[in-house]
Structure 1
Amino acid sequence: MRHYKRIERGVGGYIAGRYRCAVEVGIGNNPDAARVIAAAGGLLLCTDIRPGIRHDGLTVVTDDIFEPDARLYAGADLLYAVRPGVEMVPPLIALAARINCDLLVYHLGCEIYGDGGDVVDCGPALLHRYHRRRS
């Protein structure tokens, strides 16, 4: 698991250096990327479908990506997910398009959705950009 924590911190560093208002979807029990982004001042909030998830210093709200409350994501310039189920990617893409923000996903292993989107090398891992913000 230590290897994944290094990857998650690398993902967080990449995002923190490029975005000013990010939302992590499906934080679960893995706050490492969000902590890095929050420390840089670039994290709006984190969501998860399970109620009651708490991580010190992070705002975590309950939301279902399959029926999202778009108001929660207002102002975000990035949605991102760390190792989501591949079935979550289509609703993530739809939400990113709806609120007009980028979408980055770090997949577990060889999982990808569709054509994999644009591949982004963030250092310790590859991210997949499935949606780009329109100007």
Structure 2
Amino acid sequence: MSVTILGPVATGGHTLPLYSFHVPAGFPSPAADHIEKHISLDELFDIRAPHVYLVKIGGDSMQGAGIYSGDLVIVDRSLDASHGDIVIAAINSEPVCKRLHRSENAVILMSENPKYPPRYVMEGDELVIWGVVKYSVRDHDNA
């Protein structure tokens, strides 16, 4: 799996309409056309620059977590990564997106696809956690 750092998210932005109904997967209701309020994607995704940045994901090793090749992930570098978090990290200078597993005896970077084995962080390896993945955004035209 590869990652491409796209950079920090700028502050500010435009608000978008939020409709107060759930969108059915079938036929829309003609009565469901009023706006409840306007929201900001900055607020919705809890984006607070400069410690939040975007990363484009390449590869299929995180499909089990709902992160697919081509997705954008919103990463918060102000959070301390905990056991079970999905992280953007560098292992020996190679950037990866993996689930972090920590125990008393080991640190493991886990894929969410059974095709890929766990990556144990060994003595002598350099592991740098760049941030915790908070959200993913998918382009359905390229799915």
- TM-score normalised by L of structure 1: 0.24
* Bigger Rg over Cα: 2
- TM-score normalised by L of structure 2: 0.23
More strand by share: 2
